[in-house]
Structure 1
């Protein structure tokens, strides 16, 4: 739909979409965003969202300051998120969303072919991702997975339920976060890494002993998984 510019009118009535469970946007080339803030509070049943092949899309979840929420955080029931082939995508989540919106049910995130995307999660969003089980990122311009936000204390990057992490052709990826941080995934079963040559995957250091210039994905004592890296398999 090359002529349509948005899905939602900002004058839509409250509770217009209380039973909407799945939303898919495909080849809508004038879209700049998918879900603005003013409609998030109405999507009380949304479990699955897919956005792909929208050449102008810059942000999936956008905060619009002129239409603020009522001050109470909105819990979005989203479980699955897939974004693909969005060449102008700058961010999935607007960094300001953390003040008004919570994504505490997300189980699966897949991001691919988004060359303008330099990071995936704002620091504030990571605190809501305790239920995350599967994360896959392919062929993106990502340099770090988690973007630092001014004025926020850095939490531990714990993903207690993450069982599968797949990273492929992330040629700019250097670290998880600006600083000496690694992610902790006690339930991890499968880690696939291919074409991510700028990042150190495993380090044998403890957090306290890790050199400041080292920013690996994982610390060796925190991982008990089958790892597939560059076509070789290692159990640790």
Structure 2
């Protein structure tokens, strides 16, 4: 089907098409070239609120110039995975310009995703023809040929804009463009309602706009800038040449003090964080981290930080004489800590004492969660993935402290031999009982060296709340523990991939069930 709506040319302008239709969702119409007929009555589609177009690979535009009925009603627009779309809004070159601003549209949300041929949102400047004053959210993802987002005339007019997200648009050079001299922006550009900005994977972006001043966004709370190497994000109120000043996006002094969430590159963070207090900041994510010694200033600059995510540069090796880069010593009351590709060798630092979530991925320097005296009294979620040096998770004394733990996931840590170890424990050879009173879910996957949850024969485990146990690809695991664990709510174990009948197992108790999974797996390997 190449067209959806079609009328005879002789009476097309008299036909009113779907005047009460509120929603259109079109998907996978691979031959569709036109959604709307070339000519219809102005009242056609005049109640339309939502349009969602996806995987229609012959479409080259979404709203042709003859389609005017949506102006005052359309609230939400989403266009995704359409391989040929070049323009979203087509405007007649000959259309009369209204000095008062043109027709007011009701459009509040624009979502554009994976449109590889998209070159522009408007084929010509809509200034004086259409205005988008009610626009609140614009999100663009994977539009490789898009060079800019707004004409300057539109940017000056979107005073209600709250969220702006632009991800993986390789040809994007600037967010706002001046198409001619009449659009030049001489005064600071202001977005009074903007609270969220995310710029990610824009390798060619150089400017937010080519103006002399940083943009003003007094309500900005969340800022994420990553993989935008040519963009200078913050102007630091230091004497600069006018040429350099044009490329900065924000004033560090005015923006940083109000942020609640920030994600930026490590090199820029090194210059900013020690200089500017950020008392409202709750979440911080640093990309391409190459050391942690400067983070010791955090308690003074961001005393209310709750969540810290550090993504270390792959292949980075700390200098041997900098012990701070191998062991984090930050005195923060964090609730969540996420480390990726970290080079630290142990987690023995005060930062952990009030943690509720700890997530470690590709932290190959860790052999365990040292030291044995480490306490996780508040921890509710523990996740470890692909930590090649990890041999066991924790000492028995540390395990006893996890009275709030609800979720435990250990995935693809190939050297892990057991989860709980008695090494370094003060109890020595004494009989001990460890109760994970609130633990609901355990997931152990791809632990090729693990023989059991704990091999210490004098240790008894109790899991009164455990409901989900997943043990997969743990080829050496013959039993859960030496002593039969107490887990009254567990009635089956997820052992292998497959249909519902084969993937769940139960042989009366945990040790017997795990031994059966072990035996069945090894029988299948025989040749």
TM above 0.5? yes
Q: Deviations over 1:30-52 (max 9, x none)?
A: 11111123323544210000111
Structure 2 CA distance for aligned equivalents of residues 173 and 152 of structure 1: 20
Greater mean deviation of Cα atoms: 226-235 or 73-82: 226-235
Structure 1 residues 232 and 27, CA gap change in structure 2 (3 angstroms): same
User: Are 2:188 and 2:212, in contact at CA under 8 Å, matched by a contact in 1?
Assistant: no
Quote how far apart the aligned CAs of 1:210 are: 5.6
Q: Deviations over 1:2-54 (max 9, x none)?
A: 21111111211121112110001111111111112332354421000011111
Match of 2:244 in 1: 213
Structure with greater helix percent:
2
Give TM-score scaled by structure 1 length.
0.90
User: Are 1:61 and 1:94, in contact at CA under 8 Å, matched by a contact in 2?
Assistant: yes
Q: Deviations over 1:61-85 (max 9, x none)?
A: 111336x368581111001000010
User: Is 1:127 aligned with 2:156?
Assistant: yes
Moved over 6 A (4+): 233-236
Structure with greater strand percent:
1
In structure 2, which of residues 267, 286, 310 is the aligned counterpart of residue 232 of structure 1?
Answer: 286
User: Are 1:20 and 1:43, in contact at CA under 8 Å, matched by a contact in 2?
Assistant: no
Of structures 1 and 2, the one with the larger relative CO (CA 8 A, separation 6+) is 1
In structure 1, which of residues 91, 96, 111 is the aligned counterpart of residue 140 of structure 2?
Answer: 111
Structure 2 CA distance for aligned equivalents of residues 70 and 220 of structure 1: 39
Structure 1 residues 220 and 70, CA gap change in structure 2 (3 angstroms): closer
Quote how far apart the aligned CAs of 1:87 are: 0.6
Match of 1:144 in 2: 174
Q: Deviations over 1:88-117 (max 9, x none)?
A: 111112332112000010000000100100
Structure 1 residues 73 and 212, CA gap change in structure 2 (3 angstroms): same
Root-mean-square deviation (Å):
2.2
Match of 1:201 in 2: 233
Structure 2 CA distance for aligned equivalents of residues 171 and 42 of structure 1: 35
Structure 2: gaps spanning 5 or more residues:
1-28, 266-284, 288-297, 303-527
User: Are 1:62 and 1:97, in contact at CA under 8 Å, matched by a contact in 2?
Assistant: no
Secondary structure in 2 aligned to 1:99? coil
In structure 1, which of residues 74, 94, 98 is the aligned counterpart of residue 127 of structure 2?
Answer: 98
Structure 2 CA distance for aligned equivalents of residues 70 and 221 of structure 1: 40
Match of 1:11 in 2: 39
Secondary structure in 2 aligned to 1:213? helix
Secondary structure in 1 aligned to 2:232? coil
Quote how far apart the aligned CAs of 1:188 are: 0.2
Structure 1: gaps spanning 5 or more residues:
none
Match of 1:160 in 2: 192
Structure 2 CA distance for aligned equivalents of residues 30 and 56 of structure 1: 6
